[in-house]
A and B are shown apart, each in its own frame.
Chain A
Amino acid sequence: MANSITNKTVKNESVVLNEFDQPVKGVSLWQDAWKRLKKNKMAMFGLLMIIFYALISLSAPLLPIYSYKQQVLGHQFLPPSTRPAGELMYERQDYLLRAMANKEGRELNAVEIERLSDLRDSITTEKKILLSGEEILVHERVYIFGTDSLGRDVLARIIYGGQVSILIGLVGALASVFIGVVLGALSGYIGGTFDSLMMRFVDIMYSLPYMLLVIIFMAVFGRAIGNLFFALAIVSWLTVARVVRGQIMSLKNSEYVEAARSSGAGTARIVFLHLIPNTAGVIIVYTTLRVPSFIMLEAFLSFLGLGVQAPFASWGVLIQDGVYAMTTYSWLLWFPATAMTLFLFSMNFLGDGLRDALDPQSKNKL
Chain B
Amino acid sequence: MSKYILRRALGLIPTMFIIVTICFFFIRLAPGGPFSSEKKIDPQILKNIEAKYHLDEPLVVQYVRYLGNVVRGDLGPSYKYKDYDVNFYIGKSLPKSLLLGSLALFFAVIMGMGAGMLSSLRQNTWVDYLSMSVAVIGISVPLFVIGPVFMYIFAIKLDILPTSGWIDEQGLKALIIPVFSLSLAYFATVARLSRASFLEALRSDYVRTARAKGLKASVIMFKHVLKGASLPVVSYLGPAFSGIITGSIVIEQIFRIPGLGRHFVQSAFNRDYTMIMGTVIVYSLILVLMNFLVDVIYGYLDPRISYK
Q: Which residues of B sit under 8 angstroms from A320, Cβ to Cβ? A: 144
| Interface contact B152-A220, CB-CB below 8 Å | no
Measured in the bound complex, the distance between the Cα atoms of B230 and A356 in whole Å is: 22
Measured in the bound complex, the distance between the Cα atoms of B280 and A220 in whole Å is: 15
| Interface contact B280-A326, CB-CB below 8 Å | no
Q: State whether the Cβ of A166 lies closer than 8 Å to any Cβ in chain B.
A: no
| Interface contact A207-B288, CB-CB below 8 Å | yes
Measured in the bound complex, the distance between the Cα atoms of B23 and A274 in whole Å is: 40
Measured in the bound complex, the distance between the Cα atoms of B148 and A337 in whole Å is: 10
Measured in the bound complex, the distance between the Cα atoms of B16 and A208 in whole Å is: 9
Q: Which residues of A sit under 8 angstroms from B142, Cβ to Cβ? A: 296, 299-300, 319, 340-341, 344
Q: Which residues of A sit under 8 angstroms from B151, Cβ to Cβ? A: 326
Q: Which of A191-225 contact B (CB under 8 A)?
A: 204, 207-209, 211-213, 215-217, 219-221
Q: Which residues of B sit under 8 angstroms from A333, Cβ to Cβ? A: 148-149, 152
0/1 per residue, B263-283, Cβ < 8 Å to A? 011001101000010011001
Q: Which residues of A sit under 8 angstroms from B287, Cβ to Cβ? A: 207, 209
Measured in the bound complex, the distance between the Cα atoms of B135 and A349 in whole Å is: 12
Q: Which residues of A sit under 8 angstroms from B26, Cβ to Cβ? A: 213, 216-217
Q: State whether the Cβ of B249 lies closer than 8 Å to any Cβ in chain A.
A: yes
| Interface contact A221-B136, CB-CB below 8 Å | no
| Interface contact B30-A221, CB-CB below 8 Å | yes
* Nearest opposing residue in chain B for A327, CB measure: B156
Q: Which residues of A sit under 8 angstroms from B196, Cβ to Cβ? A: 365
A207/B148 contact (C-beta < 8 A), A212-B280, A215-B265 known? no
| Interface contact A300-B246, CB-CB below 8 Å | yes
Q: State whether the Cβ of A303 lies closer than 8 Å to any Cβ in chain B.
A: yes
| Interface contact A323-B254, CB-CB below 8 Å | yes
| Interface contact B140-A216, CB-CB below 8 Å | no
User: Count of chain A residues with Cβ under 8 Å from any Cβ of B?
Assistant: 37
Q: State whether the Cβ of B94 lies closer than 8 Å to any Cβ in chain A.
A: no
Identify A345's interface contact among B136, B250, B288, CB under 8 A. B136
Q: State whether the Cβ of B15 lies closer than 8 Å to any Cβ in chain A.
A: yes
| Interface contact A208-B19, CB-CB below 8 Å | yes
* Nearest opposing residue in chain B for A42, CB measure: B136
Q: State whether the Cβ of A330 lies closer than 8 Å to any Cβ in chain B.
A: yes
Q: Which residues of A sit under 8 angstroms from B284, Cβ to Cβ? A: 208-209, 212
0/1 per residue, A305-327, Cβ < 8 Å to B? 10000000000100110110011
Measured in the bound complex, the distance between the Cα atoms of B254 and A349 in whole Å is: 28
A212/B283 contact (C-beta < 8 A), A349-B136, A365-B193 known? yes
Measured in the bound complex, the distance between the Cα atoms of B152 and A365 in whole Å is: 34
Q: Which residues of A sit under 8 angstroms from B149, Cβ to Cβ? A: 333, 337
Identify B144's interface contact among A209, A319, A348, CB under 8 A. A319
Q: Which residues of A sit under 8 angstroms from B268, Cβ to Cβ? A: 215-216, 219-220
* Nearest opposing residue in chain A for B157, CB measure: A330
Q: Which residues of A sit under 8 angstroms from B280, Cβ to Cβ? A: 209, 212, 216
Q: Which residues of A sit under 8 angstroms from B156, Cβ to Cβ? A: 326-327
Identify B145's interface contact among A219, A327, A340, CB under 8 A. A340
| Interface contact A220-B141, CB-CB below 8 Å | no
Q: State whether the Cβ of A304 lies closer than 8 Å to any Cβ in chain B.
A: yes
Identify A204's interface contact among B18, B27, B242, CB under 8 A. B18
Give the A-B pair count, Cβ closer than 8 A. Answer: 110
Q: Which residues of B sit under 8 angstroms from A348, Cβ to Cβ? A: 136, 139-140
Q: State whether the Cβ of B253 lies closer than 8 Å to any Cβ in chain A.
A: yes
| Interface contact B254-A220, CB-CB below 8 Å | no
| Interface contact B250-A300, CB-CB below 8 Å | yes
Measured in the bound complex, the distance between the Cα atoms of B21 and A207 in whole Å is: 13
Q: Give the Cβ gap from A301 to chain B, nearest Cβ, in Å.
A: 10
Q: State whether the Cβ of B119 lies closer than 8 Å to any Cβ in chain A.
A: no
* Nearest opposing residue in chain A for B12, CB measure: A207
Measured in the bound complex, the distance between the Cα atoms of B145 and A319 in whole Å is: 7
0/1 per residue, A38-62, Cβ < 8 Å to B? 0000000000000000000000000
* Nearest opposing residue in chain B for A239, CB measure: B239
Q: State whether the Cβ of A79 lies closer than 8 Å to any Cβ in chain B.
A: no
Q: Which of B195-234 contact A (CB under 8 A)?
A: 196, 232
A344/B144 contact (C-beta < 8 A), A215-B264, A303-B253 known? no
Q: State whether the Cβ of B183 lies closer than 8 Å to any Cβ in chain A.
A: no
Measured in the bound complex, the distance between the Cα atoms of B253 and A314 in whole Å is: 19
Measured in the bound complex, the distance between the Cα atoms of B269 and A61 in whole Å is: 36
| Interface contact A326-B148, CB-CB below 8 Å | yes
Q: State whether the Cβ of B10 lies closer than 8 Å to any Cβ in chain A.
A: no
0/1 per residue, B1-42, Cβ < 8 Å to A? 000000000000001001100110011001000000000000
Q: Which of B124-153 contact A (CB under 8 A)?
A: 136-137, 139-145, 148-149, 151-152
Measured in the bound complex, the distance between the Cα atoms of B164 and A327 in whole Å is: 13
| Interface contact B152-A326, CB-CB below 8 Å | yes
Measured in the bound complex, the distance between the Cα atoms of B178 and A347 in whole Å is: 26
Q: State whether the Cβ of A146 lies closer than 8 Å to any Cβ in chain B.
A: no
A209/B283 contact (C-beta < 8 A), A299-B142, A304-B249, A326-B152 known? yes
Chain B interface (Cβ < 8 Å from any Cβ of A): 15, 18-19, 22-23, 26-27, 30, 136-137, 139-145, 148-149, 151-152, 156, 192-193, 196, 232, 242, 245-246, 249-250, 253-254, 264-265, 268-269, 271, 276, 279-280, 283-284, 287-288, 291
Chain A interface (Cβ < 8 Å from any Cβ of B): 204, 207-209, 211-213, 215-217, 219-221, 292, 296, 299-300, 303-305, 316, 319-320, 322-323, 326-327, 330, 333, 337, 340-341, 344-345, 348-349, 365
A-B contact pairs, 14 of them (CB 8 A): A209-B242, A211-B242, A220-B27, A220-B268, A300-B250, A303-B144, A303-B253, A304-B265, A319-B142, A323-B148, A333-B152, A341-B142, A344-B142, A348-B140
18 additional A-B pairs beyond A219-B269, A320-B144, beta carbons within 8 Å, are A204-B18, A209-B245, A209-B287, A211-B242, A212-B246, A216-B26, A216-B276, A219-B271, A221-B30, A300-B142, A300-B143, A304-B253, A305-B269, A319-B145, A319-B148, A322-B148, A344-B141, A365-B232
